Amino acid sequence: MGFGLGFLALSDRPGDLDNTFDLPGYFRTDAALFYKRDNWRTQLNIENLFDIEYFASTNFDSRSSVNPGAPFTILGTIAVEF
């Protein structure tokens, strides 16, 4: 059994190639919990643990193409190794 914790910190960054606006920085926390027995593995990943709102990226062409970050997300996996 194991546990993981990850942090992603980004500072303000240009929103377009002309530097007409900036995307604000953010700090996101992710976590994982897993269990492995013999050739079986189960895992639970949690992204954006505290459900912060942030802007992930832009397409560098205009303010209308700003992409929001993913909300609180839980991903579960089960794997078997052969």
Structural domain span for residue 41: 2-17+25-80
Cβ neighbours of residue 39 closer than 8 Å, sequence gap 6 or more: 80, 81, 82
Backbone phi and psi for residue 35, each to the nearest 5 degrees, phi listed first: -140, 130
Count structural domains, the chain. Answer: 1
**Distance between CA 8 and CA 27 in Å, rounded?**
6
In this predicted model, what pLDDT tens digit does every residue of 16-64 receive, in sequence order?
A: 888 888 899 999 999 999 999 999 999 999 999 999 999 998 887 666 7
pLDDT of residue 20: 85
pLDDT of residue 65: 83
